[in-house]
Amino acid sequence: MSLIEADSPVDRPSRYNAARMPARLIEALATTEPLADLFSDESVLRAMLQFEVALAKAQAHVGVIPRSAARAIAAAQTRAFDVSRLAHDMLRAGTPAIPFVKALTQFVRRKDATAARFIHWGATSQDLADTALVLLLKQALPILAKDLTVLESSLRALSEKHKNTVMLGRTLLQPAPPITFGLKAANWLSSVRRSREKLESTFAEALVLQFGGASGTLASLGKNGPAVAHALAKEVGLDCPEAPWHTQRDRLASLICACGVLTGSLGKMARDIALMMQNEIAEVAEPAGGGRGGSSTMPHKRNPIACALTLAAANRMPNLVASFLSTMSPEHERGVGGWQAEWPTVAAVIQSTGVAAASMAETASGLWVDPERMRENLEATNGLIFAERAMMLLAPKIGRDAAHKILESAARKSVQEEKRIASVLAEMPDATKHLNAATLSRIESPEEYLGSAENFRKAQLVKKPVTKTMRKKER
């Protein structure tokens, strides 16, 4: 294991403790505390230092540099770096590696001038930048997994609890034949689960070492290049790819796209819940408390804040994904401006995915559901949502077109006279000729017009075996 530990109390200053969120105010609605901490200056420094320490240890193991040099380099700590100066110098250098390696060299030189000569030996700037980014992504994995696990478990519980809770289906924002809330929750669950499985797969592919040297050949290490690469991959706990990938960004691109799809799935759930929270619908509500859902001017409000954060993330995501995809055509063996654009984009994508997942996990685990209100909204349609059912009962006897005309007329009269559709049909000879009183009395029973809703609900709760998951072996 590397000497650079993510939870090392020595390397984590008090300003980054759990009591204070290490994010700028302007980013506060776009991340979570764990992910803000992950992409903080301190964490990024740890990842870069982890690469340089691991590189030195790997090269010492292979015999490329003295073991004493590796020990001296491993003694460096992130608190030795001036973050403000590094940020200034990075902007001037066009890469985080040059000023970081310079500062690290100066630190090591003060204690061991000989060891300082072997820092960053045989590596190039992009090796440091890309591997540090991948190391941050590796840490993001369990953060996302935790919230997604809570979300899936909560949605499953909601679906089971409300498998018999009937409610309006809604198409084009208008009332439609009934469904169950259990089916709606199962629909959310299946979309999130499929998206998560794709995310897991792309994470597994993206967590690979970047180490290729100047032109991606490791020529500076001679015959030792592959051995150092494998030793380095083992040190940092990443897979060693078949070749360096400086200008092959497909793995990261697949991960970014998977984040976009997952966040879109979460946004769908958030949109539904926000609409169902409207006062005139009032079928569900986000969990309250802890400063959630209030208004600065209207004390009565219970706002869909978690949904708002999720939808905000879903709104940001398409442009972020497009931004990354636009960098996928770098020039030759090292691009100009492509990978330099990726760090902030990737950080924003992961944090947007994380805030959406955390928000929906919190919502699903405490969602308030009002079955009585769902029934009231269904009844408020005066049975118009069962016009399709009546038409399908008439159609075998008089033909679909004729049945459709009868129901169109009945629907208009139901609206004009504010009468239930069954009552209107009972007054129409063209209908009563084919539908007896017993049939008409049951025509507005939602439980009798759910079709295969329960079959579809249960089918979506079945979790299929997964080959590559977030539970991929830990190193």
- Residues with a known catalytic role: 295, 334
Nearest one of 299, 285, 6, 304 to 132, comparing CA atoms: 6
Q: Is the dihedral of CA 245, 247, 248, 251 positive or negative?
A: positive
Residues 126/334, Cβ–Cβ less than 8 Å:
yes
- Cα separation, 250 vs 261, in Å, equals 16
Q: Is the dihedral of CA 361, 366, 367, 371 positive or negative?
A: positive
* Sequence-separated (6 or more) residues with CB below 8 Å from residue 470: 141, 142, 144, 145, 200, 203
Closest Cα to residue 276, out of 165, 161, 377? Answer: 377
Distance of CA 178 to the CA centre of its chain: 31
Alpha helices in 117-245 (DSSP H): 125-161, 181-206, 225-236
- Of 418, 442, 414, 438, the C-alpha closest to 428 is 414
CA–centroid distance for 74 within its chain: 35
